[in-house]
A and B are shown apart, each in its own frame.
Chain A
Amino acid sequence: MISDWWIIVNSALTAACCGILGSFIILRRMSMLVDAISHAVLPGIVIAYLFTESLQSIWLLIGAGLSGFATVWLIESIAKRYNLHEDASIGSIYTSMFALGIILISSLAFRVDLDQECVLYGEVSHTLFDVLVINGKVAGPKAFYLLLGIFIINLAFVLLNYKQLKVMSFDGVFASTIGISTSILHYTLMGLVSFTTVASFEMVGSILVIAYFTALPAIAYLFSYSLSAMLRLCILTGILCAVSGYFIALWWGVSVSGATVLSMGICLLVAIFVSPKKGLLKPWLYAKSK
C-alpha cells in the first residue's frame, strides 16, 4: 500500500515539475519546442549512460541537458540564418537527434540495458523498485528524490525570475529593451525543460511528458485571469490528474502514466466546455446575474 502512495506522489510531482515550466512555454507559444526537447535529449542520455552504465547518475541529466541545449540552439540558428520557418526547423532537427539516439541504442544494444520502449512510454510503477537506502533503511524510491530536487530547482527558478519571466512571456521585445537578458532566461528555461524531461522519463516516457508540459497549463489557462493563478492551478490540476489517473489505472489495470494523461485530456475537454473565458457553455453557465 505504501507503494501506491509513492506512485501518486511521484506522478503528482512530475506534473508539478512540468506544469510550472510548461505555463511559460504555452504562453510563449513554444509547445513544439518542448516536443522537440523531449525527444532530442535521447542521444545525450544514451552517451552518458554508455560512460556511467547507470540510469540514475547525474551525468544522465548533464548529457540530456547538453543535447537539449544543442537542439534548441541548432533549431533557432538554422531557422534564423536560412530564413526557414521555425516549425520546419524543429521538425527536422529533433527527429534527427532522436534518430541518432535510436541508432546508438540499437547498435550498442548488447551493452545497454536501455530499450526504446522504456524511453518512449516509461512506466511509473517501474520506478518503485529502485529505492534509496540510507543506513540500511529504505527511504523511498530514488525517483522521488530526483523529482523533488527538480521541483525545488524549477520552483526556485520561477520564483526568483518571476517578474522577468512574466514580462518576457507577454512582450519579449519590451523585456529586452528594459535590460532583461531574454536569451539567458530562454536558454535556462529550455535547460530546465531538458532536465525535467529526463527526470520524468522513467515515469512517463518522452511522448506522454509533452502532455505534462502543455495539457496541464492549457487547462489552467482556460480558468485563470492571472499568471500566478495559472501556475497554482497547474499544480492543482496536476495533483488531481495524478490521483484520478492512478485510480483509473487501478480499476482498468492499465498503465498509470497513460491513465494520468488520459485524465488530463478529459479535464481539458471539460475545460473547453465550462471555461469562464471562452467555454462553449459560457452563455448558460455565466449568465449575467448583475
Chain B
Amino acid sequence: MIQQVEKAILEVHDLSVRYNNKTALWNIDFTLPSGVLAGVIGPNGAGKSTLIKAIMGLVPVHSGYVKLFGESLSKVKQRVAYVPQKEEVNWDFPITVQEVVEMGRFPYLGLLKKLTPQDKAIVSSAMERVGIAPLAKRQVSELSGGQQQRVFLARAIAQDADIYFMDEPFTGIDIATEHAIVALLKEMKEQGKTIIVVHHDLYSAYEYFDWVVLLNGYLVASAPTEQAFTPDLLQKTYGGKLTTLTKIAHIIKQSL
C-alpha cells in the first residue's frame, strides 16, 4: 500500500542507508502531499529516526535521493525545519529559553547581523503560541521535559519553514503537553504547513495523523491513515510479535 501523489512536497527515491555495514533502510520510495500531518510509525529499530535524518542529510545515504519541493535540500534549506530528539541537546548550557527560540531566526541572519525588531516579534509570538512566554528569561536547565519540547517547537515555529520534521516529540512528556502539542501541530497544518513526525505509539497514531508511513527497515505503507491501518499492513510492520499483535487487533477494532 504505497500511495504515490502528484505535486509531492517530499519525494524519497530508492533510499538506502547503511550504518556500520548494516543496512538500516532498504530502498525506501514514497511521496508525500503537502499540507498533511504525517506520522512515521514502526517498531524499535525500524529506522524511523534514520529516515528523517537521511532526508535532512544528517546521515550518509548509501543510495537513492531525496527531493523537497522538487529540489535538493541544499537549495531549499530555509523552507525545511528539523526538530531533534530533545535528548540530543546539552540542556545544561547557560542559555535562556528566549535565546534558544531566537536560534530559529539565525538562518535569516547574516554573519555578524543581530536580530531585527521583526525577528524579535516573531520569536515572542512563537513563544506565546506554545505557551512558554512566561518562561522566556528562564534558564533551559530548569525546564521540565514537556517545557523543553515546547521550547523546541517554538524554535521551529520561529524558523517559519514550510515543512517540519520532528523526531519523537512525545517521548518523556506528560499527556496534557502531548495533547497541547498535537493541537498546535494540527493548527500549523491548517495554515498549510506540512509536518512529519516520528512516533512510536500505535494507539495514538490513528487519531493524530492523517497520513502514515509504516516502516520496518523497508517501507510497508505510505497512505492516508484509514487506508494504511489495515490488519495486514500493521502485522507486516510489527512482524509476528504476539503482544504487539493483540494490541494491534484492539486498535484495528477501534478504528473500524
Chain A residues with a Cβ under 8 A of chain B: 27-29, 83, 160, 163, 166-167, 169-174, 176-179, 221, 224-227, 229-230, 277
Could you list 30 examples of A-B contacts with CB < 8 Å? A27-B94, A160-B111, A160-B112, A166-B103, A167-B106, A169-B90, A169-B93, A170-B89, A170-B93, A170-B95, A170-B103, A171-B88, A171-B103, A173-B82, A173-B88, A174-B89, A174-B103, A174-B155, A177-B81, A178-B77, A178-B106, A178-B159, A179-B77, A221-B94, A224-B94, A225-B139, A226-B99, A227-B93, A229-B94, A277-B141
Complex contacts, B84 vs chain A, CB 8 Å: 171, 173-174
Asked if A178 and B107 make an inter-chain contact with CB atoms under 8 angstroms apart, the answer reads yes
Rounded to whole angstroms, the CA-CA distance of A29 and B139 in the bound complex is 19
* A28 neighbours in B (Cβ, 8 Å): 90
Q: Which residues 128-161 in B have Cβ within 8 Å of A in the complex?
A: 139, 141, 155, 159
Evaluate contact between B109 and A170: CB separation under 8 angstroms: no
The winner among A27, A177, A224, A227 for most chain B CB atoms within 10 A is: A177
Residue of A nearest to B82 (CB): A177
Interface on B for A, CB 8 Å cutoff?
20, 56-58, 77, 80-82, 84, 88-90, 93-96, 99-100, 103, 106-107, 109, 111-112, 139, 141, 155, 159
CB <8 Å contact, A27 and B93: yes
**Docked CA distance A163–B107 (Å):** 11
A27, A160, A179, A230: which contacts B90 (Cβ < 8 A)?
Answer: A27
Which B residue's beta carbon lies closest to that of A220?
B94
Bound-complex Cα distance A179 to B80 (A): 11
Instruction: For B94, give its contact among A83, A163, A230 (CB under 8 Å).
Output: A230
A172 CB contacts on chain B under 8 angstroms = 88
Q: How far is the CA of A46 from the CA of B48 in the complex (A)?
A: 49
- Output the least CB separation between B156 and chain A (Å): 9
CA distance A166 to B57 in the complex (A): 21
Q: How far does the alpha carbon of A170 sit from the alpha carbon of B100 in the complex, in Å?
A: 9
In the complex, how many angstroms separate the beta carbon of A181 from the nearest chain B beta carbon? Answer: 12
Question: In whole angstroms, what is the CA distance A29 to B88 when docked?
Answer: 13
Alpha-carbon distance between A171 and B103 when the two chains are bound, in angstroms: 10
- Please, how many angstroms separate the alpha-carbon atoms of A177 and B141 in the complex? 23
Q: Are B58 and A163 in contact (CB under 8 A)?
A: no
- Taking CB atoms, residues of chain B closer than 8 Å to A163 are 106, 109
Q: Among the listed B20, B95, B155, which residue makes an inter-chain contact with A83, where contact means beta carbons less than 8 Å apart?
A: B20
Q: A166-B103, A174-B82 are in contact. List 14 more A-B contacts (CB 8 A).
A: A27-B94, A29-B90, A163-B106, A167-B106, A170-B100, A171-B89, A173-B82, A174-B89, A174-B103, A176-B57, A176-B58, A221-B94, A227-B94, A227-B95
- Shortest beta-carbon contacts, A-B, top 9: A177-B82, A173-B84, A178-B107, A171-B89, A170-B93, A224-B94, A179-B77, A83-B20, A167-B103
